[in-house]
A and B are shown apart, each in its own frame.
Chain A
Amino acid sequence: MATGDAFDALLAAALVWSAWRSLSARDTAGAVVLYIVFGLLAALAWLRLGAPDVALAEAAIGAGITGALLLEAVARRRRAGGDRSLPLPLRPLPIVLASSLTAAVVVSALMLRSPDPGLGALVGESLDAAAASHGVTAVLLDFRAYDTLLEVAVLLVAALALLTLARTDDVSSLSRPLPPELQIAWVARVVAPVAVLSGVYLLALGTTAPGGAFQAGAVLAAAAVLLWLGGYGLAPLCGVALRLLLVAGLACFLAVGSATALGSAALLDYPAGAGGALVLVVETAIAVSVAATLATLFVGAGARGR
């Protein structure tokens, strides 16, 4: 057995084991921490499957931001008093749903006659005419730009939903920081600049290598959340400014789309020379919006009941 195979087998076993331990943990905080471990192992699995962009997104969003949100939810629940479980007749429902979904996926995977080569070859052929030289970015922002436009709209809807549901009416919860703890404030001061630099680097790298807007947005959101946890409120970025940031991605994408539609009568059909620049502009706007959305999700969720 090759070393790679042995590593893959160990990784698969570790994935199953951490998922089982997360589900069977005695307290919810432990379950969330094991979920974060599962997310990081899943990022490794994506790497082994040859998908570094997905691995970056899984690590940043799946393990990082989602883990932080879940820990925040656990802490809030403890403050509100006690765990509320599902009523007894409903308890089998999540297991039934999850098992049937897993069974459907496994059956359809087994029914594939031969490994489907997918569209990789087609993308490779068309890459010269694309606006970006990295396959994933070319697909996301050139060949299937319309789908990404709709995804960005969905993110905006999620942010709007949270803003309407949050008990605090004003979005300025971003500016009302926690009382600072020295060590956490020190960590925020040290790590936030590195995180911002990494985010901008991932954004710029996205056109030629694994990276891109969503991963950069997640890292920038992490920087914002760290600053908030360290007691440095983000006062300049509240009220109207926050709303502008949340809308920026969709607005920029729509503007580019309208310009191309008016120009060449095809939505998001970039003109020949300007494709790369337009993609970079749209990616920057998307990254800013994703960062604002994720930071609002975290801070807005935490601002309730403080």
Chain B
Amino acid sequence: MSDALTLALALGGAVFFVAGTAGLVRFPDLQSRLHALTKADNVGLGLVVAALALRAESLASAAKLVLVWLLALVASAAASYALASGAHRSEEADGDG
């Protein structure tokens, strides 16, 4: 029973990762690509972490996995902000120059 649930969660996570990658490849500009990556990939990561947490040997390992997911959320938020604001600033510089 829990095997089936783990498999379903992991497959759901994989689907979200594929969707995020499709967005990365097909979306027209930086901001929409960042949007696809941060939203879809983080949900995918959350589902994969949920799948792995079901198989963890102890509550502490499961908690560490959830901590990994939270840190990935924070890191992707910071990175996408930095990338987008950097691109915005260089666009402004090109526009003025």
- Closest beta carbon of chain A to B58's beta carbon, Å: 15
What is the number of contacts between chain A and chain B, taking CB atoms within 8 Å?
20
Contact of A181 among B71, B74, B85 (CB under 8 A): B85
Query: Contact at A191–B71, with CB atoms within 8 Å?
Result: yes
Query: Contact at B77–A194, with CB atoms within 8 Å?
Result: no
Q: Which of A182-221 contact B (CB under 8 A)?
A: 183-184, 186-187, 190-191, 194
Query: Contact at A183–B74, with CB atoms within 8 Å?
Result: no
Task: Check B82 for interface membership: any CB of A closer than 8 A.
Answer: yes
Main secondary structure of the interface of A (DSSP, over half): helix
Size range of the chain B interface in the assembly = under 10
Query: Contact at A194–B85, with CB atoms within 8 Å?
Result: no
* C-alpha gap A186/B67 in the complex (Å): 17
- Closest beta carbon of chain A to B42's beta carbon, Å: 15
How many residues on A have C-beta within 8 angstroms of the other chain's C-beta atoms? 8
- Closest beta carbon of chain B to A157's beta carbon, Å: 33
A181 / chain B contacts, CB cutoff of 8 Å = 82, 85
Task: Check B81 for interface membership: any CB of A closer than 8 A.
Answer: yes
Q: Which of B71-86 contact A (CB under 8 A)?
A: 71, 74-75, 77-78, 81-82, 85
Q: Can you sample 20 A-B contacts with CB below 8 Å?
A: A181-B82, A181-B85, A183-B77, A183-B78, A183-B81, A183-B82, A184-B78, A184-B81, A184-B82, A186-B78, A187-B74, A187-B75, A187-B77, A187-B78, A190-B74, A191-B71, A191-B74, A191-B75, A194-B67, A194-B71
Please give the residue numbers on chain B whose beta carbons come within 8 Å of chain A beta carbons, in ascending order: 67, 71, 74-75, 77-78, 81-82, 85
Please give the residue numbers on chain A whose beta carbons come within 8 Å of chain B beta carbons, in ascending order: 181, 183-184, 186-187, 190-191, 194
